[in-house]
Protein backbone atom coordinates (compact mmCIF):
# COMPACT_ATOMS: atom_id res chain seq x y z
CA UNK A 1 0.00 0.00 0.00
CA UNK A 2 2.79 2.42 0.91
CA UNK A 3 6.20 1.91 -0.65
CA UNK A 4 9.26 4.04 0.08
CA UNK A 5 12.27 3.34 -2.12
CA UNK A 6 15.77 4.86 -1.99
CA UNK A 7 14.58 7.90 -0.02
CA UNK A 8 17.30 10.45 0.78
CA UNK A 9 16.91 13.97 2.17
CA UNK A 10 19.30 16.77 3.13
CA UNK A 11 18.81 20.15 4.78
CA UNK A 12 20.89 23.30 4.79
CA UNK A 13 22.33 24.10 8.22
CA UNK A 14 22.62 27.58 9.73
CA UNK A 15 26.29 27.53 8.78
CA UNK A 16 25.36 26.95 5.15
CA UNK A 17 26.51 23.34 4.96
CA UNK A 18 24.40 20.44 3.74
CA UNK A 19 23.32 17.95 6.42
CA UNK A 20 21.96 14.62 5.21
CA UNK A 21 19.20 13.35 7.49
CA UNK A 22 17.95 10.36 5.45
CA UNK A 23 20.05 7.94 3.43
CA UNK A 24 18.55 5.39 1.02
CA UNK A 25 15.46 4.53 3.08
CA UNK A 26 13.49 1.48 1.91
CA UNK A 27 10.24 0.66 3.70
CA UNK A 28 6.81 -0.78 2.92
CA UNK A 29 3.40 -0.97 4.58
CA UNK A 30 1.02 -3.67 3.36
CA UNK A 31 -2.80 -3.44 3.38
CA UNK A 32 -4.27 -4.14 6.82
CA UNK A 33 -0.84 -4.13 8.49
CA UNK A 34 0.48 -2.13 11.45
CA UNK A 35 4.13 -1.44 10.63
CA UNK A 36 6.50 0.31 13.02
CA UNK A 37 9.35 2.74 12.43
CA UNK A 38 11.45 3.33 15.55
CA UNK A 39 14.43 5.44 16.50
CA UNK A 40 15.58 8.00 19.01
CA UNK A 41 14.86 11.73 18.70
CA UNK A 42 16.80 13.16 15.78
CA UNK A 43 17.05 9.86 13.92
CA UNK A 44 14.96 11.16 10.99
CA UNK A 45 11.54 9.69 11.76
CA UNK A 46 9.61 12.94 11.31
CA UNK A 47 11.36 13.63 7.99
CA UNK A 48 10.29 10.19 6.74
CA UNK A 49 6.70 11.04 7.73
CA UNK A 50 6.74 14.43 6.01
CA UNK A 51 8.10 12.87 2.82
CA UNK A 52 5.56 10.03 3.00
CA UNK A 53 2.71 12.54 3.35
CA UNK A 54 4.01 14.62 0.43
CA UNK A 55 4.76 17.60 2.69
CA UNK A 56 8.47 17.58 1.81
CA UNK A 57 10.14 16.57 -1.43
CA UNK A 58 13.09 14.18 -1.06
CA UNK A 59 16.42 14.75 -2.78
CA UNK A 60 16.14 11.31 -4.36
CA UNK A 61 14.01 8.20 -4.15
CA UNK A 62 10.26 7.73 -4.37
CA UNK A 63 7.12 7.40 -2.28
CA UNK A 64 4.16 5.58 -3.82
CA UNK A 65 0.73 4.91 -2.37
CA UNK A 66 -1.32 2.18 -4.05
CA UNK A 67 0.32 2.95 -7.39
CA UNK A 68 0.22 6.75 -6.98
CA UNK A 69 3.55 8.60 -7.11
CA UNK A 70 2.97 10.85 -4.11
CA UNK A 71 5.31 13.67 -5.20
CA UNK A 72 4.12 13.72 -8.80
CA UNK A 73 0.39 13.36 -8.10
CA UNK A 74 -1.94 16.10 -9.28
CA UNK A 75 -5.68 16.58 -9.61
CA UNK A 76 -7.90 13.55 -8.84
CA UNK A 77 -4.92 11.36 -7.86
CA UNK A 78 -3.72 13.91 -5.32
CA UNK A 79 -7.22 14.31 -3.89
CA UNK A 80 -7.55 10.54 -3.59
CA UNK A 81 -4.20 10.32 -1.79
CA UNK A 82 -5.17 13.09 0.64
CA UNK A 83 -8.49 11.39 1.33
CA UNK A 84 -7.16 7.87 1.82
CA UNK A 85 -3.99 8.71 3.80
CA UNK A 86 -4.52 10.56 7.06
CA UNK A 87 -2.05 11.61 9.78
CA UNK A 88 -2.42 11.41 13.56
CA UNK A 89 0.10 13.81 15.05
CA UNK A 90 2.10 13.56 18.24
CA UNK A 91 0.67 16.40 20.29
CA UNK A 92 -3.13 16.72 20.44
CA UNK A 93 -2.69 20.05 22.22
CA UNK A 94 -1.11 21.47 19.05
CA UNK A 95 -2.79 19.50 16.25
CA UNK A 96 -6.37 20.61 16.98
CA UNK A 97 -7.41 24.16 16.11
CA UNK A 98 -8.39 25.68 19.49
CA UNK A 99 -10.92 28.03 17.86
CA UNK A 100 -12.97 25.24 16.29
CA UNK A 101 -15.60 23.15 18.01
CA UNK A 102 -15.24 19.38 18.01
CA UNK A 103 -18.05 19.10 15.46
CA UNK A 104 -16.29 21.53 13.14
CA UNK A 105 -12.93 19.78 13.57
CA UNK A 106 -14.31 16.37 12.65
CA UNK A 107 -16.63 17.35 9.81
CA UNK A 108 -14.05 19.60 8.10
CA UNK A 109 -12.74 16.75 5.95
CA UNK A 110 -16.26 15.79 4.94
CA UNK A 111 -16.85 19.33 3.70
CA UNK A 112 -13.48 19.69 1.96
CA UNK A 113 -13.90 16.42 0.07
CA UNK A 114 -17.65 16.97 -0.42
CA UNK A 115 -18.47 13.51 0.85
CA UNK A 116 -21.65 14.48 2.69
CA UNK A 117 -23.09 17.75 1.37
CA UNK A 118 -26.10 17.54 3.70
CA UNK A 119 -25.47 19.17 7.11
CA UNK A 120 -27.71 16.71 8.97
CA UNK A 121 -25.85 13.74 7.45
CA UNK A 122 -22.50 15.27 8.45
CA UNK A 123 -23.76 15.76 11.99
CA UNK A 124 -24.87 12.12 12.19
CA UNK A 125 -21.45 11.05 10.91
CA UNK A 126 -19.71 13.14 13.60
CA UNK A 127 -21.83 11.52 16.32
CA UNK A 128 -21.02 8.08 14.91
CA UNK A 129 -17.28 8.83 14.93
CA UNK A 130 -17.32 10.22 18.46
CA UNK A 131 -19.07 7.11 19.73
CA UNK A 132 -16.61 4.98 17.80
CA UNK A 133 -13.67 6.51 19.72
CA UNK A 134 -15.36 6.38 23.13
CA UNK A 135 -16.92 9.86 23.35
CA UNK A 136 -20.49 11.05 22.70
CA UNK A 137 -22.53 13.81 21.11
CA UNK A 138 -22.15 16.09 24.14
CA UNK A 139 -18.57 16.79 22.98
CA UNK A 140 -19.69 18.37 19.68
CA UNK A 141 -20.24 22.01 20.76
CA UNK A 142 -17.16 22.12 22.98
CA UNK A 143 -13.63 23.27 22.15
CA UNK A 144 -10.41 21.21 22.50
CA UNK A 145 -9.39 23.07 25.68
CA UNK A 146 -12.31 21.42 27.49
CA UNK A 147 -10.78 17.94 27.13
CA UNK A 148 -7.91 15.98 28.61
CA UNK A 149 -4.91 14.92 26.52
CA UNK A 150 -6.27 11.42 25.96
CA UNK A 151 -9.67 12.76 24.95
CA UNK A 152 -8.07 15.21 22.53
CA UNK A 153 -6.16 12.40 20.89
CA UNK A 154 -9.41 10.45 20.53
CA UNK A 155 -10.89 13.50 18.80
CA UNK A 156 -7.82 13.66 16.53
CA UNK A 157 -8.30 9.98 15.64
CA UNK A 158 -12.01 10.58 14.94
CA UNK A 159 -11.05 13.47 12.67
CA UNK A 160 -8.57 11.25 10.80
CA UNK A 161 -11.19 8.52 10.35
CA UNK A 162 -13.98 10.86 9.21
CA UNK A 163 -13.32 10.61 5.48
CA UNK A 164 -12.76 6.86 5.38
CA UNK A 165 -8.97 6.55 5.02
CA UNK A 166 -7.20 3.30 4.18
CA UNK A 167 -3.88 4.27 5.79
CA UNK A 168 -3.12 6.15 9.01
CA UNK A 169 0.34 7.60 9.57
CA UNK A 170 0.77 8.01 13.32
CA UNK A 171 3.65 10.19 14.51
CA UNK A 172 4.34 9.14 18.11
CA UNK A 173 0.61 9.42 18.90
CA UNK A 174 0.94 8.56 22.60
CA UNK A 175 4.28 10.09 23.61
CA UNK A 176 2.66 13.36 24.76
CA UNK A 177 0.11 11.52 26.94
CA UNK A 178 0.24 10.27 30.51
CA UNK A 179 1.29 6.64 30.85
CA UNK A 180 -2.14 5.74 32.23
CA UNK A 181 -3.78 7.07 29.06
CA UNK A 182 -1.32 5.64 26.52
CA UNK A 183 -2.71 2.10 26.72
CA UNK A 184 -6.24 3.38 26.09
CA UNK A 185 -5.20 5.16 22.88
CA UNK A 186 -3.10 2.19 21.71
CA UNK A 187 -6.04 -0.16 22.28
CA UNK A 188 -8.30 2.26 20.39
CA UNK A 189 -5.95 2.28 17.39
CA UNK A 190 -5.84 -1.51 17.37
CA UNK A 191 -9.62 -1.70 17.60
CA UNK A 192 -10.06 0.75 14.72
CA UNK A 193 -7.48 -1.11 12.62
CA UNK A 194 -9.34 -4.39 13.04
CA UNK A 195 -12.82 -2.88 12.68
CA UNK A 196 -12.04 -0.82 9.56
CA UNK A 197 -9.24 -2.97 8.08
CA UNK A 198 -6.85 -0.02 8.15
CA UNK A 199 -3.14 -0.04 7.45
CA UNK A 200 -1.10 1.93 9.99
CA UNK A 201 2.43 3.29 9.89
CA UNK A 202 3.23 3.70 13.58
CA UNK A 203 6.28 5.88 14.24
CA UNK A 204 7.70 5.95 17.77
CA UNK A 205 10.73 5.75 20.00
CA UNK A 206 9.04 3.60 22.66
CA UNK A 207 9.91 0.03 21.73
CA UNK A 208 7.56 -1.50 24.30
CA UNK A 209 4.58 0.14 22.57
CA UNK A 210 5.85 -0.79 19.10
CA UNK A 211 6.39 -4.42 20.06
CA UNK A 212 2.84 -4.57 21.40
CA UNK A 213 1.06 -3.09 18.39
CA UNK A 214 3.24 -3.70 15.29
CA UNK A 215 3.71 -6.89 13.30
CA UNK A 216 6.87 -5.63 11.58
CA UNK A 217 9.35 -2.93 12.49
CA UNK A 218 12.28 -1.02 11.01
CA UNK A 219 14.95 0.59 13.19
CA UNK A 220 16.17 4.01 12.07
CA UNK A 221 19.60 5.21 13.26
CA UNK A 222 20.91 8.60 12.13
CA UNK A 223 18.90 8.52 8.94
CA UNK A 224 19.67 4.91 8.00
CA UNK A 225 17.51 1.80 8.50
CA UNK A 226 19.85 -0.58 10.28
CA UNK A 227 17.42 -3.43 10.99
CA UNK A 228 13.98 -4.51 9.81
CA UNK A 229 11.75 -7.56 10.04
CA UNK A 230 9.19 -9.20 12.30
CA UNK A 231 8.77 -7.28 15.55
CA UNK A 232 9.38 -10.28 17.79
CA UNK A 233 12.61 -11.07 15.96
CA UNK A 234 14.01 -7.55 15.71
CA UNK A 235 13.00 -6.47 19.21
CA UNK A 236 13.40 -9.85 20.86
CA UNK A 237 16.68 -11.27 19.63
CA UNK A 238 18.54 -8.34 18.06
CA UNK A 239 22.26 -8.10 18.80
CA UNK A 240 22.73 -4.78 17.00
CA UNK A 241 24.14 -2.27 19.56
CA UNK A 242 21.78 0.58 18.70
CA UNK A 243 18.66 -1.60 18.88
CA UNK A 244 19.87 -3.11 22.14
CA UNK A 245 20.42 0.38 23.56
CA UNK A 246 16.84 1.33 22.66
CA UNK A 247 15.56 -1.84 24.29
CA UNK A 248 17.59 -1.21 27.43
CA UNK A 249 16.05 2.26 27.66
CA UNK A 250 12.52 0.86 27.99
CA UNK A 251 11.36 1.47 31.60
CA UNK A 252 10.62 -1.62 33.69
CA UNK A 253 8.62 -1.91 36.89
CA UNK A 254 11.03 -4.22 38.75
CA UNK A 255 13.56 -2.01 40.63
CA UNK A 256 16.06 -4.86 41.03
CA UNK A 257 16.04 -5.63 37.31
CA UNK A 258 16.29 -1.91 36.53
CA UNK A 259 19.36 -1.65 38.80
CA UNK A 260 20.93 -4.72 37.18
CA UNK A 261 20.49 -3.23 33.72
CA UNK A 262 21.88 0.12 34.83
CA UNK A 263 24.97 -1.52 36.30
CA UNK A 264 25.44 -3.57 33.13
CA UNK A 265 25.25 -0.44 30.96
CA UNK A 266 27.76 1.38 33.12
CA UNK A 267 30.08 -1.61 32.99
CA UNK A 268 29.91 -1.73 29.19
CA UNK A 269 30.45 2.03 28.90
CA UNK A 270 33.51 1.84 31.13
CA UNK A 271 35.07 -1.03 29.20
CA UNK A 272 37.66 -0.37 26.43
CA UNK A 273 35.18 -1.65 23.82
CA UNK A 274 32.19 0.34 25.05
CA UNK A 275 29.81 1.11 22.18
CA UNK A 276 29.12 4.72 23.17
CA UNK A 277 25.34 4.36 23.52
CA UNK A 278 25.50 4.39 27.30
Q: From the CB of residue 184, how many other CB atoms can be counted at a distance below 10 Å?
A: 16
Query: How many helical (H) and strand (E) elements, i.e. helices and strands, does the chain have?
Result: 11, 10
Using an 8 Å Cβ cutoff, are 214 and 231 in contact? yes
Other residues' Cβ atoms within 10 Å of the Cβ of residue 41: 9
Question: What is the C-alpha to C-alpha distance for residues 184 and 59, in angstroms, rounded to an integer?
Answer: 38
Residue 138 in any domain: the answer is: no
> Are residues 183 and 267 both part of a single domain?
no
What integer pLDDT is reported at residue 255 of this predicted model? 54
> Taking all residues of the chain, what is their mean pLDDT, rounded to a whole number?
86
Residue 116 falls within a domain, yes or no? no
Assigned domain for 21 exists: yes
Question: In sequence order, what are the residues at sequence separation of 6 or more whose Cβ sits closer than 8 angstroms to the Cβ of residue 26?
Answer: 4, 5, 6, 7, 225
What's the total number of domains in the chain? Answer: 2
- 83 lies in the same domain as 19: yes
Could you tell me if residue 32 is inside a domain? yes
Residues 12 and 91 in one domain: yes
Q: Are 274 and 201 found together in one domain?
A: no
- 186-209 mean pLDDT: 88
Residue 184, CA distances (Å) to 96, 161, 194, 203, 257 in order: 19, 17, 15, 17, 27
Residue 157 forms part of a structural domain: no
**Are residues 229 and 249 located together in one domain of the fold?**
no
> Alpha helix locations (H) across 18-162?
45-52, 75-84, 92-95, 102-112, 119-132, 149-161
* pTM higher than the cut 0.75: yes
My answer on whether 276 and 173 are in the same domain is no
Examine residue 86 and state whether it is found in any structural domain, yes or no: yes
| pLDDT at 268 (0 to 100) | 47
Domain assignment of residue 217, yes or no: yes
Residue 260 pLDDT > 70 = no
H-type alpha helices, 164-227: 179-196, 207-213
pLDDT in tens, 85-103: 999 988 888 889 999 999 9
Residues 176 and 217 both lie in one domain: yes
- Evaluate whether residue 197 is within a structural domain: yes
217 and 245 together in one domain: no
Model pLDDT, residue 266? 53
CATH label of the domain that carries residue 206: 3.40.50.300
- Are 171 and 278 contained in the same domain? no
If asked whether residues 276 and 227 sit together in one domain, one would say no
pLDDT at position 271, please? 52
What domain range is 255 assigned to? 239-278
Amino acid sequence: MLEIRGLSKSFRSAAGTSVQVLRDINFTVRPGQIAGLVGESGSGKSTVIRCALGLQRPDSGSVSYDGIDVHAARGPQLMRFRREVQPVFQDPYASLNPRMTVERLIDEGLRVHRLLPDAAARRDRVVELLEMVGLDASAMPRHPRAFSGGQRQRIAIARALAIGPRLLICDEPVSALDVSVQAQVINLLQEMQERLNLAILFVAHDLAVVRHICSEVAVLERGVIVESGKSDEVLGTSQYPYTRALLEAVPIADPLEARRRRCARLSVAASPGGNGYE
